[in-house]
Amino acid sequence: MKRYEELAEAIAKSIRDEVIKPGEKLPSVRETSKKRGVSASTVFEAYYLLEARGLITTRPRSGYYVNSSAKKLRPLAEQKTENLSKQQEVDVSELVFEVLEATRARSSVPFGSAFPSPVLFPMAKLAKTMSYTVQKMDPWRTVEDLGPGDNELRRQIALRYRIDGVDIPTEEIVITNGALEGLNLCLAAVTRPGDTILIESPTFYAALQAIERYGLKTVEVPSHPDTGVDLDIMEQTIQRYRPKACWIMTNFQNPIGSLMPDANKKRLVEMITKYQIPLIEDDVYGELYFDEKRPTPTKTYDEEGLILHCSSFSKSLAPGYRIGWVAAGKFAKQVERLKLSTSITTSVPAQQTIANYLSKGGYDRHLRQLRHLLVLQQLRYLKAVEQYFPEETRISRPHGGYFFWIELPKSVDALKLHRTALDNGISIAPGPIFSAQRSYKNFIRLNYGHEWDEQVDDALAILGKLVKT
Ligand SMILES: Cc1ncc(COP(=O)(O)O)c(C=O)c1O
């Protein structure tokens, strides 16, 4: 990443965290240049970039100012729950399919999409790597590489774990068709039909669909916007229902965006160890952090192999390649066998392409660039939501990923809003698809992973108007 981009990102974070307040003047170019030890032209370029992104404005003969929003929306509140959730069967698939099918069209503005813009990924570089890889590929690899996956790819993934401070043997890693296959295999490995599984609320809808498909029951534990799953309620729920497994997102939870602090992660691992409950940890957004370093997976603290850690390159490097993995602890062999009997293996050329890309270096550079774009976009989208949405709206402030979780006024029906927005060429993800009980009737998830432009601005203005009416 260029120095001016790094500087722009640092300033954007200060604006987001209100270290520099809306309307306030930025330090002069000379001051910033001296303080940061960079040239004046680097500061100019950073300020130009922030100006082009609509985050600051220059006033002639006065300097640069942080753009202030028309109003400031409040952050999301913690859910106060006194009663434990009931154990229940899940029946949301139809609703989820209906929403997903409607949000896929390229013609609609994709606020409801689960993916960031595909143009943010190094597609041309990957295509070159794939072409080279396939030409050099030993044909016998397509026959021999059945089973847990390409050895070099598994080694590269183990290496990345090690850099992040988690020691996972290469043999424990099973390559899957995206994280979703991995998550499903893990669920199959640790449950039988009729079992109860503990999930967060709200939760990723595909977790609900998997639970429905396997004939499982759920108990939901509330997740808080900042710290993730409520551990006190989780322990009470475990004591009451004795679930067979948990499925939890600790880093940039989808849809709420929460990031569980390390102390909570440790307590979570102590809890599942005490009750001997396997934990399926869905960590597909871990690389998209905006703070100093990658947040740890709970797997870091797992001494008994109870955590089945799932992730993929779908959101961070190569959407569409469908390369994910599982590090399943003491369930690794079961997951490996389930993979073999479900889909034999994952596309060998795609695995080798990603392995070659990783071994050449450049992934971290790409990630820095991607995170940089997401930080700036988050701020730009936030300003627009503040401008266009009604005052009672509450919004999450995630420190990573690319989703806002938005609480609209009580009178708004998110499912109706989804249908009217679609008629206007805009997709959103309505709250009820994230809950077994179809709660969150006045919530939506909004994707800010698509480049800011006039069409996005217009679409947010229309959405704001629809919410108000
Ligand atoms: C929380 C979460 N887990 C898993 C997945 C699936 O990941 P993949 O595309 O690698 O299968 C998604 C995709 O939307 C997701 O949001």
Q: For residue 323, give the ligand 1 atom closest to its CA.
A: 10
Alpha carbon distances (Å) from 290 to 13, 89, 287, 371, 401: 8, 37, 9, 6, 8
Kindly list the strands in the beta sheet with 403-407, ordered across the sheet, starting from the edge strand earlier in the chain: 74-75, 394-395, 403-407, 443-447, 429-430
Q: What is the DSSP letter of 445?
A: E
For residue 129, how far is its CA from the centre of ligand 1 (angstroms)? 24
Q: How far apart are CA 24 and CA 47, in angstroms?
A: 14
In angstroms, rounded to a whole number, what is the distance separating the alpha carbons of residues 339 and 185? 7
d(C-alpha 179, C-alpha 335), whole Å: 13
| Cα 311 to ligand 1 centroid, rounded to whole Å | 8
Q: Which atom of ligand 1 is nearest to the CA of 322?
A: 10
Residue type at position 146: L
Residue 88: the pLDDT is 79
pLDDT band at 322 (very low <50, low <70, confident <90, very high): very high
Q: What does the pLDDT average to over 338-353?
A: 95
Which pLDDT does position 268 carry in this prediction? 98
**Each residue's pLDDT tens digit, 88-97:** 777 777 778 8
Q: Does residue 82 register a pLDDT over 70?
A: no
Which of 162, 141, 148, 154 is closest to 354 using CA atoms?
154
Determine how many CB atoms are found less than 10 A away from the CB of residue 431. 27
pLDDT of residue 77: 81
Task: Please state, in angstroms and as integers, the Cα–Cα distance from residue 153 to each residue in 50, 162, 180, 308, following that order.
Answer: 38, 14, 18, 19
Which residues have any ligand 1 atom within 6 Å of their CB?
114, 178-180, 204, 249, 254, 282, 284, 312, 314, 324
Is the model's pLDDT at 120 over the cut of 90? Answer: yes
Cβ–Cβ under 8 Å, residues 5 and 38: no
Q: Which of 26-30, 280-284, 302-306 has the lowest average pLDDT?
A: 26-30
Residue 255: asked if its preceding bond is cis (omega within 30°), the reply is yes
- pLDDT tens digits along 28-56: 899 999 988 999 999 999 999 998 888 88
Question: What is the best residue among 104, 177, 284 to mutate for testing ligand 1's pocket, by most ligand atoms within 8 Å of CB?
Answer: 284
- Residue of minimum CA distance from atom 1 in ligand 1: 254
Name the pTM for this structure.
0.92
How far is the C-alpha of 115 from the C-alpha of 111, rounded, in Å? 10
Distance 360 CA to ligand 1 centre (A): 26
User: Which is more confidently placed, 238 or 142?
Assistant: 238
Which residues are registered as beta bridge partners of 311? 325
pLDDT for residue 83: 67
Asked if 377 contacts 12 with a C-beta cutoff of 8 angstroms, the reply is: no
* Closest of 376, 451, 449 to residue 112, by C-alpha: 449
**For residues 215-225, average pLDDT:** 94
Mean of the pLDDT values across residues 222-239?
A: 96
Which range scores top for mean pLDDT: 21-25, 48-52, 218-222?
A: 218-222
> Atom of ligand 1 at shortest distance to CA of 204?
1
